[in-house]
Chains A and B, each alone.
Chain A
Amino acid sequence: MYLEVKDLRKSYGEGGSYVEVLKGVDLSVEKGAMCVIQGASGSGKSTLLHCIGGLEEAGSGSVSVDGMGICGLLPEELSDYRRANLGFIFQFYNLVPNLTVKENIQVCEYLTDSPLDMGELLGTLGLDGHQDKFPAQLSGGQQQRCAIARALIKNPKLLLCDEPTGALDSHTSRDILELLEGVNRKYGTTMLIVTHNNSIRHMVDQVVCLKDGQVMQDYRNEEKVPAAQLEDL
């Protein structure tokens, strides 16, 4: 397994405000697979993603990516882990507003010695002609494309997507999902997608449903529906 999460627990607060968000989550994802994590608000899906991304420290349990355990790593070691393995895509894009599209992508290009070809990536993501624009000059969809390009430029082994279509209309959402599908196919990138959107589960290899910090369902799709054919996005 490329990603393995075992008995992961995470809690916040103390005394009366104590909340256990993850209550012993187990999860395995194969290399190159697309996996969706679903659940209602407060189910712990984002916390799980952050723990896998090394952004939050787990209370107990373990997370390993490509055979490397990340729990207990020092902050600088976690930085190296993210730098070497991960790409992030957020619901609200988190582009640096005073950098152009190209410069935003360069933020991550700078982190690797063997980046993907910038021109090809811009072309693949439909950002040709927009590279010198600033985020404020782009539509929501274009901004998310830029965020995806930024995540992909260093060719990460694992792409963590937190509600990648959460801020987009259905048409643009479909475009973005098609894009992620294409990227998965082209680069073999393992993807973990946190989403509220039920339709997305049909296009991925694996679906994990969380409820109150526990895995309620974890199954693999026998047949995937291409993103272009998804309904009710």
Chain B
Amino acid sequence: MQKILRRRIFRDLKENKFRYLALGLLIVLGMYIVIGLVGAADTVIVQTAETAKANRAEDGQFSVFAPLTEKEKSSLEGEGITLEEHFYLDYAPAGKSTLSEAGGLSGDAGSTDGAVLRVFTQRKHIDLVQIDSGRLPKEEGEILLERRFCEEHGISAGDRITLGGREFTVTGIGTAPDYESPFRSFSDSAVDSVRFGLGFVTGEDYSRLREAGGSISSEEYTYAYLLNGRMTDKQLKEQLKGLEVSAGDIEDAFFREYWERNGGKLDGGLAVSLSKLTRFVPAGDNPRIGSAGNDKYVDKAAGLAAGVIVLILFAYVISVFTVHSIERESGVIGTLYAMGVKRKELMRHYLCLPVLVTFLAGVTGTVLGYSSFGVNRYLSEPYGYFSIPQVEVVYEPYLLLYGLAVPPLAAAFTNYLVIRKKLARPALALIRGERKRDRVAAMHLSGGFVRIFRLRQLLRERRTAAAVFLGMFISLLIVMLSLDCYAICSYVKTENARDTRFAWMYNYKYPEAKVPKGGEEAYGVTMKKEVLGYSFDVTLMGIHDGNPYFDASVEKGEDRVLVSSALAQKYGIGEGDVLTLLDEERDRYYAFRVDGIVTYSTGFFAFMDIDSMRELMGESEDYYNIVFSDHSLNIDHGRLYAALPKEDVEKSAAVFVEQMKSMVISLLVVSALIFAVVMYLMMKVMIDRSAPAVSLFKVFGYRKKEIGKLYLNGNFFVVAISALVGIPLAKAVMDLMFPYMVANVACGINLAFSWQMYAGIFFSALVLYGIINGFLMRRVNRILPAEVLKMRE
């Protein structure tokens, strides 16, 4: 029996080739995207972890106020850990500010205006550079540059650049595991390799650069460490906290001035103790490390889940076809039962085609996904963002199994659930074509004929309408994902520019005695707060009430803060809540009552009265470490950790939009495709089922327009109502999921859409419906009046 039935399968496939081809192609596309996306994610996760291990990626790093003495270093290394100096100097192009005029980066390496290059001594023990091309610098005047920076500026080995007045030849291009996300600062939310990169020179050259001056901020004393299983991060931190600055050992003029002003006595030994440790960052808390892999975990989970959901949708669509076939063939099925054919044999037969189509499509999609058009194409996105080395594609067996087994299994499962009741009816009932009393379809309706007719049609086709709704909902989820990405990026771009009122923000290492003229003093302490498994920097910022750069009316009180809107959105904090922050430097938690939310999207800030904050932190009455100004100030760069112009804030915010643009567009195209194909196939099924009635209506003298009005225009309401329900529902569901997808991104999550956006989505759905309706009208027109005379409904 199966042999005979099997012949029918191929006939059915041939008869409905366009229908199955359209669905098959959608499954191919879906599996191609899932396998490509997840395969690329696996490749990045596995390979970056392996290369990081091979390159002796750090267990963590810490920064100190002044370099460790040999004795301190020996004492720490005596515990069995490995330490390496990762000191650095930042250089910027000439003409950027008074700070950077002496520095600069130029030459024949392409335009690098506005960029900052962080220069290190090449590493020997920790965070070794993985060379993509060329070689490490060996001699004077040689430098190795970070890959992404080179790509953005068209730099290749052999090019020359000028740093701090010295000319260097690029000998190689590579990546470092401690800068997988090359953030200039830990609190950066997006990588911008146009504006920031790394360089590695020989130890001698580094010393020459330091001595020549010209960097845009003071040298940062950072050490990378490997614990070697000999101690924990916590134990190391405890030891480091015990280290104090020995002022006499520091020759920095700015430090000496600062030290004397604060009561130190350089000639007579220390009178004031100062902790040496300024920042302690275990690798797990470092947003620059392992970020590519972390980012891809989200892609992987979302890709696998989305694949299953989309496959269930397609399997459901196929099940609608199968149900249609079973209803049409009920007489034959009854006859076969009467002749002794078993239900499970017919079940197997009806499952065969969906399973075959989905399996073939799944295999094709998987092969394409693993081809150079798939995984490699999806790898270009992390390569184009993260600073990771070129890696070989990893073929994980589970993904192969997913691509080959999930499509047919989803089809078999969904179809089994849908058709088992249809096949469970008695033989005689099937032969007679008796239909089970359908209470929903038989409900009493009132109103005009057209209204009643459309409602009856809708009730009869509610399974098909459900598939249209489901298809639309899944498409809308993708639309919302895409538009949420767009919204978050576009808000970051527009709001960051709007909210950044200062022209410059200066972050002091050694504050001057008096606030420079034209500057507005503030006191900032970087703290930590965790959300969704990620820990981000939150700046507790002491400001004067009336600070012109923030809309924050702060009041006196050591436990009262106003939080920035970005912080409130990311952490879900509202007025009256308690905000708890961890000061890692002091190893202390602070709890604050939130008095309100300040419109400030540029970062995670908690604003408080500067005097209250000085008192809380035990600082002097005139202490400050940040100055804002509406113009460039003449400040010696040796006093600063960093100087941030408004232009940098705006440009790094704009990076988001650029990076997301292609993803947003491709997601919108995929969602429109899913919606259009599902809607077309389902509405075509409705018409095919109604073909006898349509033919009959033509016999009675109904005109094309009238038939369209009865049979197609009713779908307008299905689509319109689905859109009206689906749009807010999909938006709500995606807004719940979205924060998890961007859990590793340090920015506020404003996902609000304007009413124009909602209207745009709604009308786009209707326009798409209109186009499909036009195609279906052609199908209705092809139904001839004589058809009803050849068949019985």
Contact = CB atoms under 8 A, between A and B. Distances in A.
Nearest to A112: B701
B442 A134 contact: yes
Interface string A192-224: 000000000000000000000000000000000
A132 interface: yes
A134 B459 CA distance: 14
Contact of A96 (B435, B437, B450, B793): B793
Interface in A91-115: 92, 94, 96-99, 103, 106-111
B460 interface: yes
**Chief secondary structure at chain A's binding surface:** mixed
Interface in A133-161: 134, 136
Contact of A97 (B444, B697, B793): B793
Which size bracket describes the interface of B in this complex?
A: 20 to 34
Nearest to B792: A92
A50 B789 contact: yes
A88 B699 contact: yes
Contact of B459 (A55, A56, A79, A98): A98
B284 to A, nearest CB: 63
B391 interface: no
A90 interface: yes
Nearest to B444: A132
A82 interface: yes
A162 B696 CA distance: 14
B21 interface: no
B460 A98 contact: yes
Contacts of B437: 136
Given A94-B792, A99-B453, A110-B449, A136 B434 contact: yes
B700 A98 contact: no
B459 A162 contact: no
A80 interface: yes
Given A50-B789, A94-B696, A103 B453 contact: yes
Given A50-B789, A97-B435, A107 B700 contact: yes
A53 interface: yes
B788 interface: yes
A98 B786 CA distance: 21
B697 A107 contact: yes
A153 B792 CA distance: 23
Interface string B417-457: 00000000000000000110100011010000110110011
B698 interface: yes
Contact of B701 (A86, A90, A162): A86
A103 B692 contact: no
A90 B787 CA distance: 13
A53 B788 CA distance: 13
A232 interface: no
Nearest to B441: A98
Contact of B450 (A94, A110, A132): A110
Nearest to B784: A55
A149 B456 CA distance: 20
Nearest to B434: A136
Contacts of B450: 110
B793 A94 contact: yes
A225 interface: no
Nearest to B786: A55
B700 A162 contact: no
A162 B457 CA distance: 27
Contact of A83 (B692, B701, B788): B701
Contact of A50 (B692, B700, B786, B793): B786
Interface in B691-716: 692-693, 696-704
B785 interface: yes
A131 to B, nearest CB: 11
Interface string A45-85: 01000100111100000000000000000001001111110
A98 to B, nearest CB: 4
Nearest to B690: A96
B456 A55 contact: no
A80 B701 contact: yes
A154 B766 CA distance: 36
Contacts of A96: 693, 696, 793
Contacts of B693: 96
Contacts of A79: 698, 701-703
A79 B295 CA distance: 63
Contacts of A90: 788-789
A103 B698 contact: no
A98 B452 contact: no
Contacts of A110: 449-450
A176 B703 CA distance: 30
Contacts of A99: 453, 456
Interface in A148-199: 162
B793 A84 contact: no
Contacts of B702: 79, 83, 111
A71 B747 CA distance: 74
A55 B700 CA distance: 10
B463 to A, nearest CB: 13
Contacts of B442: 134
Contacts of B457: 98
B710 to A, nearest CB: 9
Contacts of B792: 92, 94
A107 B437 CA distance: 22
Contacts of A94: 692, 696, 788, 792-793
Interface string B767-788: 0000000000000000001101
Contacts of B444: 132
Nearest to B696: A94
Nearest to A88: B699
B714 to A, nearest CB: 13
Interface in B439-486: 441-442, 444, 449-450, 452-453, 456-457, 459-460
Contact of A82 (B701, B786, B788): B701
B700 A108 contact: yes
A134 to B, nearest CB: 6
Interface string A21-54: 0000000000000000000000000100010011
Nearest to A96: B693
Nearest to B785: A55
Contacts of B701: 79-84, 86, 111
Interface in B603-661: none
Contacts of A54: 785
Contacts of A55: 699, 785-786, 789
A92 to B, nearest CB: 5
A194 to B, nearest CB: 11
A53 B442 CA distance: 33
Nearest to B438: A98
Nearest to B437: A136
Contacts of A97: 435, 793
A121 to B, nearest CB: 16
Interface string B222-262: 00000000000000000000000000000000000000000
A99 B690 CA distance: 13
Given A55-B786, A76-B704, A106-B449, A98 B456 contact: yes
B708 to A, nearest CB: 13
Contacts of A134: 442
Shortest 3 CB-CB contacts between residues of A and residues of B: A83-B701, A82-B701, A106-B449
Interface of B: 434-435, 437, 441-442, 444, 449-450, 452-453, 456-457, 459-460, 692-693, 696-704, 785-786, 788-789, 792-793
Given A94-B696, A162-B789, 12 more contacts: A46-B789, A79-B702, A79-B703, A88-B700, A96-B793, A97-B435, A97-B793, A103-B453, A106-B452, A110-B450, A111-B700, A111-B702
30 contacts: A50-B786, A50-B789, A53-B699, A55-B785, A55-B786, A56-B786, A79-B702, A80-B701, A82-B701, A83-B700, A83-B702, A84-B701, A86-B701, A88-B700, A90-B789, A94-B692, A94-B696, A94-B788, A96-B793, A97-B793, A98-B441, A98-B460, A99-B456, A103-B449, A103-B452, A107-B453, A110-B449, A110-B450, A111-B701, A136-B434
